[in-house]
């Protein structure tokens, strides 16, 4: 059985030329691509690697986006007080009262037992069975806050800094700032769920940055990149013949318009694309990995197969020099029955993530690679009576847990704190823009220097500037 990461994508790799014969790029223009693998030092163009602005360990980032809003209270931030308050009435007053508050509300305790792990004593809930083994690699942050209580706007803010979408995603900024080591692959790759998150692909958009920094979604079902292959029946030879005719006609036209540079860029683009459609299936083929590795990631087990494949592919991509890989999992939007819902979700990612950290460490890549885990917000300690008492939680922009591993973060520490009910951050309280500034800093970028002039002003990921959270940096 063909068990590629992308089950439908392997067949065409049979004809794939070796890497030595072909190089290709995505979204690069003329001048940035010629034999780039061999001539890395001389690369020019938007995706050419650039130096860090400030000294930092991390060179790559794997961003684990738990879409829907994972509950800090049921994952990493235990609230024993809720045991006593369980099912007692909850009221919230004030201006921020939304319709979410309508009806009766009551406190909900976490259904999970918590324990401390590692030398650092990191708190984790019971369903996390594998992550405890790497607890001392992790740095937990409990002080982050966002502005929005709705999924798409909070997702946009976490990903792009701006609640209303349309701005460059963090991966686009990082690639813009650092370029990409591998000119043969996009610098910013996204591994979405089959169903895109609310807000869609704008979550990995390039905004006003040049199109080259757009996140490229490798789809987990069907064609990994849209229209990567021609329709059924069209062989590579067939296509090559068409391409040859195109090249000849375009050459005549270009000779008549020698001053028109765009023509050459566009001609070149066709050759790059042709090579790429040969190469991508090979890149995403997980079959070459040994059985032990696959087992470690939980590949082949129902609960963990999907996310295990993503994590393993993320490692492969980072190894190949992809700058920024974002993985989606979800939805963690557990409004009801948190025990079942979050229990299943945690079990789906626990082993794969632990394996990713372990594997990167074994390969000496963990220092170079910053892993970030978060959702778009946290969850409330209470729930409303909707379908009866259902032990779930609503959205909470005022408290959440973000954790990092590798890449120069302060491993083995828990920074910041939420109040005794997990309702609001109360220690090291930071707006998400400070988290963004910190992530950039860990990757050697200075948010205040990583700017782009657009619509009359210099814009930046943090929107208005922010301060790094020094306590998260080793």
Stretch 324-343 residues interacting with other proteins (CB under 8 A): 331, 333-343
Binder to other proteins among 108, 149, 318, 432 (CB under 8 A)?
Answer: 149
Phi and psi based region of residue 168 (left: phi greater than 0; alpha: psi -120 to 50; beta: remaining): beta
Binder to other proteins among 109, 130, 151, 393 (CB under 8 A)?
Answer: 151
> Counting contacts by CB under 8 A, is residue 278 touching other proteins?
no
CA 62 to CA 336: how far, in whole Å?
30
Closest distance between other proteins and the C-beta of residue 464, in Å?
9
CA 42 to CA 27: how far, in whole Å?
18
Closest distance between other proteins and the C-beta of residue 270, in Å?
5
350 closest CA partner among 131, 64, 113, 132:
131
Dihedral sign, Cα of residue 331, residue 335, residue 336, residue 342: positive
Binder to other proteins among 3, 50, 133, 266 (CB under 8 A)?
Answer: 266
Residues 17/27/439/129 CA torsion (nearest 10 deg):
-40
Query: Is the Cβ–Cβ distance between 435 and 469 less than 8 Å?
Result: yes
> Counting contacts by CB under 8 A, is residue 269 touching other proteins?
yes
Query: 298-317: which residues touch other proteins (CB under 8 A)?
Result: none
The strand pair at 425-427 and 138-141 is best described as unpaired
> Tokens 């945690």 identify what position?
346
Closest distance between other proteins and the C-beta of residue 441, in Å?
13
Of residues 115 and 390, the one with the C-beta less far from other proteins: 390
Binder to other proteins among 20, 84, 95, 292 (CB under 8 A)?
Answer: 95
Query: 392-421: which residues touch other proteins (CB under 8 A)?
Result: 392, 394-395
> Which listed range, 97-105, 310-318, 406-414, 417-425, lies at the site for other proteins (CB under 8 A)?
97-105
Query: Is the Cβ–Cβ distance between 151 and 136 less than 8 Å?
Result: no
> Counting contacts by CB under 8 A, is residue 96 touching other proteins?
yes
Binder to other proteins among 72, 219, 323, 433 (CB under 8 A)?
Answer: 219
Which residues are CB-neighbours of 61 under 8 A, at least 6 positions away?
A: 171, 174, 323, 324, 325, 369, 370, 371, 372, 407, 439, 443
Binder to other proteins among 1, 259, 290, 292 (CB under 8 A)?
Answer: 259
> Which listed range, 12-20, 114-122, 273-281, 308-316, lies at the site for other proteins (CB under 8 A)?
273-281
> Counting contacts by CB under 8 A, is residue 103 touching other proteins?
no
> Counting contacts by CB under 8 A, is residue 12 touching other proteins?
no
By residue count, the chain amounts to 474
> Counting contacts by CB under 8 A, is residue 150 touching other proteins?
yes
Give the per-residue contact string, 426-455, with other proteins (x = CB under 8 A; - = no).
----------------------xx-x-x-x
Of residues 404 and 439, the one with the C-beta less far from other proteins: 439
> Counting contacts by CB under 8 A, is residue 7 touching other proteins?
no
The b/e string for 330-350 (b: 16+ C-beta within 10 A; e otherwise) is bbbbbbeebeebbbebbbbbb
Of residues 318 and 338, the one with the C-beta less far from other proteins: 338
Closest distance between other proteins and the C-beta of residue 344, in Å?
6
Judge if the upstream peptide bond of residue 331 is cis by omega within 30 degrees of 0.
yes
CA 242 to CA 174: how far, in whole Å?
37
> Counting contacts by CB under 8 A, is residue 80 touching other proteins?
no
Closest distance between other proteins and the C-beta of residue 288, in Å?
25
CA 111 to CA 338: how far, in whole Å?
8
Query: 224-253: which residues touch other proteins (CB under 8 A)?
Result: 225-235, 237-238, 241-242, 245-246, 248-250, 252-253
Instruction: Give the total of residues touching other proteins (CB under 8 A).
Output: 109
Closest distance between other proteins and the C-beta of residue 383, in Å?
12
Question: CA 117: distance to chain centroid?
Answer: 26
> Counting contacts by CB under 8 A, is residue 54 touching other proteins?
no
Which residues are CB-neighbours of 49 under 8 A, at least 6 positions away?
A: 40, 43, 178, 179, 180, 181
Binder to other proteins among 5, 10, 23, 25 (CB under 8 A)?
Answer: 25
Query: Is the Cβ–Cβ distance between 153 and 198 less than 8 Å?
Result: no
Query: Is the Cβ–Cβ distance between 106 and 90 less than 8 Å?
Result: yes
CA 272 to CA 142: how far, in whole Å?
45
Closest distance between other proteins and the C-beta of residue 251, in Å?
10
């Amino acid at each position: 059985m063909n068990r590629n990461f992308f089950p439908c994508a392997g067949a065409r790799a049979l004809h794939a030329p070796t890497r030595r014969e072909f190089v290709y790029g995505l979204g690069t223009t003329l001048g940035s691509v010629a034999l780039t693998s061999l001539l890395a030092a001389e690369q020019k163009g938007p995706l050419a690697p650039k130096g860090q602005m400030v000294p930092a360990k991390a060179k790559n980032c794997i961003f684990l986006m738990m879409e829907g809003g994972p509950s800090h209270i049921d994952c990493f931030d235990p609230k024993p007080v809720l045991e006593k308050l369980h099912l007692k009435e909850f009221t919230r007053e004030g201006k921020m009262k939304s319709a979410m508050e309508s009806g009766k509300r009551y406190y909900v305790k976490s259904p999970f037992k918590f324990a401390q792990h590692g030398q650092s004593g990191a708190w984790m809930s019971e369903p996390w069975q594998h992550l405890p083994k790497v607890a001392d690699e992790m740095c937990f942050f409990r002080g982050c806050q966002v502005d929005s209580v709705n999924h798409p706007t909070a997702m946009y803010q976490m990903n792009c800094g701006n609640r209303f979408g349309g701005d460059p995603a963090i991966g686009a900024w990082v690639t813009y700032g650092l370029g990409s080591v591998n000119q043969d692959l996009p610098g910013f790759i996204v591994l979405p769920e089959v169903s895109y998150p609310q807000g869609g692909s704008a979550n990995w958009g390039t905004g006003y940055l040049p199109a080259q920094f757009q996140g490229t979604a490798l789809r987990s079902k069907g064609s990994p990149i849209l229209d990567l292959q021609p329709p059924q029946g069209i062989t590579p030879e067939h296509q090559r013949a068409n391409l040859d005719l195109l090249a000849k006609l375009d050459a005549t036209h270009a000779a008549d318009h020698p001053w028109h540079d765009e023509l050459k860029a566009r001609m070149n683009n066709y050759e790059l694309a042709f090579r790429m459609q040969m190469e991508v299936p090979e890149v995403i083929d997980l079959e070459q990995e040994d059985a032990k590795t696959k087992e470690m990631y939980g590949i082949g087990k129902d609960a963990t197969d999907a996310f295990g494949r993503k994590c393993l592919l993320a490692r492969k991509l980072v190894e190949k020099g992809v700058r920024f890989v974002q993985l989606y999992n979800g939805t963690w939007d557990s409004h009801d029955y948190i025990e079942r819902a979050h229990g299943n979700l945690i079990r789906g990612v626990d082993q794969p993530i632990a394996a990713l950290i372990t594997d990167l460490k074994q390969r000496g890549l963990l220092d170079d690679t910053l892993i970030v885990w978060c959702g778009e917000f946290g969850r409330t300690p209470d729930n409303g009576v909707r379908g009866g008492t259902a032990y779930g939680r609503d959205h909470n922009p005022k408290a959440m847990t973000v954790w990092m591993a590798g890449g120069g973060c302060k491993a083995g520490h828990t920074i910041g704190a939420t109040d005794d009910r997990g309702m609001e951050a109360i220690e090291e309280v930071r707006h998400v823009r400070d988290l963004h500034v910190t992530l950039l800093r860990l990757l050697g970028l200075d948010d205040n220097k990583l700017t782009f002039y657009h619509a009359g002003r210099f814009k930046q990921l943090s929107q208005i500037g922010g301060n790094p959270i020094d306590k998260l940096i080793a």
